Chains A and B, each alone.
Chain A
Amino acid sequence: LAKTTQPISMDSYEGQEVNITCSHNNIATNDYITWYQQFPSQGPRFIIQGYKTKVTNEVASLFIPADRKSSTLSLPRVSLSDTAVYYCLVGDGAGNNRKLIWGLGTSLAVNP
């Protein structure tokens, strides 16, 4: 199972762009990269998923280099409500997200 590594914590200010990088050196060919957000006492919320290059939705962008050994979640113009824990996950090596392995995530603090 591919392991992911992310910074434990990050600090930012309102209005700034925040980039959180995750490394997954052993990602398998069939695996996608998925990011979740979690607020205290709530379930993880799906943010974005990608396989290669760049994916953008209304919430974030995901940048994946050609070797796919890392990915960067980009949050444009963060607000206080973006303070949360962000998790980067990859699949189980067989192209399944069935048994997601979670790390400790990145605790993002957005300051006024």
Chain B
Amino acid sequence: EPEVTQTPSHQVTQMGQEVILRCVPISNHLYFYWYRQILGQKVEFLVSFYNNEISEKSEIFDDQFSVERPDGSNFTLKIRSTKLEDSAMYFCASSLRDGNQPQHFGDGTRLSIL
């Protein structure tokens, strides 16, 4: 079964540094998402992306964050000037279409900010 893959599985970064989290969505999917989950807390929506544009974003997704689909397969989340509170699991997901379509998640990148 096709799956969403994320790299790296664990990223350790000094506070203030930039970090790029990478995702390869399922190949025929058109909608892409980033979520984060702080340890022991809820999964939180960050952003959705379609047709090379952000279609929706949450209040968490401020100017510190950006997303990009640099080629036909990768989908990246960039966090500029990381803060301690950015430490979390970051999940990428994709879905075939919009509307009531199940989202398929990767296993996440654990981001640790020191």
B95 to A: closest C-beta gap in Å: 7
Q: With an 8 A cutoff between CB atoms, is B65 at the interface?
A: no
A92 to B: closest C-beta gap in Å: 9
Are A95 and B100 in contact, CB atoms less than 8 angstroms apart? yes
Q: With an 8 A cutoff between CB atoms, is B55 at the interface?
A: yes
Stretch from A11-19, A36-44, A62-70, A76-84 contacting the other chain: A36-44
A103 surroundings in chain B (CB, below 8 A): 42
Q: With an 8 A cutoff between CB atoms, is B58 at the interface?
A: yes
Interface size on B, residues (CB 8 A): 28
Question: Which A residues lie at the B interface, using CB under 8 A?
Answer: 30-32, 34, 36, 38, 41-46, 49, 51, 87, 91, 95-104
Instruction: Classify the secondary structure of B's interface with A.
Output: strand
A38 surroundings in chain B (CB, below 8 A): 43
Are A49 and B102 in contact, CB atoms less than 8 angstroms apart? yes
Most chain A CB within a 10 A radius of its CB, from B35, B44, B100: B100
